[in-house]
Chains A and B, each alone.
Chain A
Amino acid sequence: MQFDFSEQQQEFRQEARRFLAAECPPERVRKAIEGGGFDRALWQGVAEMGFLGIAIPEEHGGLGLGYLELCAVAEEFGRALAPLPILSSIYLAAEAIKSFGTAEQQVAWLPRLAAGATIGCLAAAEGERLSERHLRTAFANGRLDGTKAPVLDGDIADIAIVLAKEGDALSLVRVDLAADGVTRTPLDTLDPSRGQAEIVFAGAPAERLGERGEGWAMFQTLLDRAAVLTAFEQIGGADRALEMGRDYALERMAFGRQIGSFQAIKHMLADMYVSATLARSNAYYGAWALSTGASELPQAAATARVSATNAFRHCAKNNIQVHGGMGFTWQMDCHFFYRRANQLALALGGPPDWEEKLVSRLSAVNMPIAA
């Protein structure tokens, strides 16, 4: 058994870490949050490193590597809190086109997505918790009507993959966001390092992706894959929050001692370590299932997702606590992690949906075979 990344994959991760340390230091994240807008130069840099095209075939302009390499890099994007639309454009939009698009759609979009020249997003939610039955956005005769909100990175994306009703079934369609009949409004959210928008479609031209009526199933497949990749972003963030807390506990003195010598702080940091470690192991299991196309993927993805969401939130909130009053200042980075932890927890559908998926998938797997 070899339940770890290979040396080559580790090297890949190191490369991403070096790149992000140099090009995406905390000041650059701060600038994005404080109104610098989308950092296109950073996005181009990431594209030039080949990170966007890792899991996109070579014939479509990617590196043609596997998901494991993408997982390894995702962790580094999470650790650096990169203010970039990788989740939307690569884990979701590019995946959708790669998996369900026609040959022409792939030729048209994958090279552009891999090169960062086009940014994609996925528009599913309609204001409240998403359910298969309550979707209102409709696709008919090549036109799309409806309102999607919030759409992660919908403020900067060029194309959207939209979950819509087609007759009485659901389909996935691709829309050009610069087309007539599309209006977008940026939304204020907990995590300003990633833009969100409301997108209104009024007869916007759209084309179907994959089979009519297969939309919900395709959407679930996309969510499962993205859940594994996002879990790596979450454990990257959790690890960094833990490190920040540990470093501060070593440096800060109270009552003539390092605060890290108080059992309360030690236990808090130890518990952060425990949750981050369990989440990492679960994410590895998800990565294995994703990269091998194992039938366990749905269950492994939900496990990785729930575990990583809890760990990142747990580490981010306790990191503020370890920092005391300092942790509640805008000047410290602690709240960026707290913001991102909560934002990622709600991207791809909120925790209750994933908890539900996890338990129903577990119980389905273990269901006694009917006589």
Chain B
Amino acid sequence: MSDVLAITEHRRGELRDVSYELITAGRQLADELGGDLHLAVISGDVSGFADKLNREGVDTIHTVDEGEEFNHDVYTQVITQLYDELQPGALLMPNSVNGLDYAPAVANHLDLPLVTDAIDFSYNGTLEATREQYGSKVETTVEVDADHVALTIRPGEWPGAEETGDADVVSFEASIDESAVKSTVTGFEEVGGGDVDITDADILVSVGRGIKEEENIELVQELADALGATLSSSRPIVDNGWLPKNRQVGQSGKVVTPDVYIAIGISGAVQHVAGMKGSDTIIAINTDPNAPIFDIADYGIVDDLFDVVPALTEQFK
């Protein structure tokens, strides 16, 4: 019997989208393995969450009423205990920041081979997972030659399950060794307020590491001014202290959906794309014709930004 156990995710009272995506991915894998799909929801309003997670394809939802918020020591203990009871063929977790804060510990603890950030998988006697390497420049497949495996899936790759289901909801009593809980979450803070809200902008001119030096940002600012647009950026620009955190687009920055997003010298790393793929029209300016940003761009210019940007600004003066 090869069941799948998927660990759902929530934060500050809300289930995160990846929880519904885990249902779709989990159902796919359970069908291929010929087993049931079990979900676990740990901490918080577990019965409220279980109601929402009760979607088509789920066989059993295990609610674990332990604490309010995510704590990796608690999660690690609960998941290993639930795993021992269910002995699933595959343990599915989100490749989220919190997923990466417990999945490797759980896999090591249970001696399971671990594949992170899967964007696809299939089972044909052995499990094959697809991943990306070198900043999405290449795709690779890895084969897992084992009866049990731990996998984390990239958020946004599977559609979220929508139809209501009729899963059994059962409560799981974990026995938590409090002396092994050595971390305490003391609060949350929103970052990146400040002068502008890039999520309000209709047109974003976004600058990335291709700009090379802090002084050169001025070039892109001039373009933004000429277009009546707002300036945003990829992460390295903010890491370097060249722009404030409230300008960062991406997974750990802001999710933006402007009418026009102009990505200048931005490669299109997955964590950046997560924040701007919902833009209406995406335009990329990049010297590298193979940069992943062109996969999601509607229009592009393969050229040096130091030639194109001033020429473009000139057009609007």
Judge: A and B partners, yes or no.
no
Q: Which residues of A contact B (CB under 8 A)?
A: none
Q: Which residues of B contact A (CB under 8 A)?
A: none
